[in-house]
Amino acid sequence: KQEVTQIPAALSVPEGENLVLNCSFTDSAIYNLQWFRQDPGKGLTSLLLIQSSQREQTSGRLNASLDKSSGRSTLYIAASQPGDSATYLCAVRLTTDSWGKLQFGAGTQVVVTP
């Protein structure tokens, strides 16, 4: 059974620091991994999708890396801002799951202080 873990569960940094969020998964037979952002009481906003054949994906201040063999992905957010405060979730899709089900980690709650 696939287990997706996000550590730490919570993180507080001063504005301007770089954020490093970790995601690990136990089954390396994945199609892809997707990072989301969730603001309190809101839905999920897709940040980055990284395919299993890719090592890295970038969008603006965001960079996601993927090491499928070791079951790890890292989301880097450069020069954090108070507006980056949110919960960040990673999710994987298994190649053995024909439904395209996303299996989620529990998330990392980020607070960026001014």
Partner 1 sequence: SQTIHQWPATLVQPVGSPLSLECTVEGTSNPNLYWYRQAAGRGLQLLFYSVGIGQISSEVPQNLSASRPQDRQFILSSKKLLLSDSGFYLCAWSYRENTEAFFGQGTRLTVV
Burial degree of 52 (CB within 10 A; 0-12, 13-18, 19+): middle
Position 25 contacts partner 1 (CB under 8 A): no
**Which residues partner with 21 through β-bridges?**
75
And the tokens for 81? 């801002």
According to CB under 8 A, which one of 24, 62, 76, 104 is a site residue for partner 1?
Answer: 104
Contact code string over 77-96 relative to partner 1, x by CB under 8 A: ------------x-x-x---
**Which residues partner with 64 through β-bridges?**
57, 75
Position 29 contacts partner 1 (CB under 8 A): no
DSSP state letter for 18: P
And the tokens for 27? 């089954």
Position 35 contacts partner 1 (CB under 8 A): no
Residues in 44-83 at the binding interface with partner 1, rule: CB under 8 A: 44-46, 49
Q: Which is nearer to partner 1, 33 or 77 (CB)?
A: 33
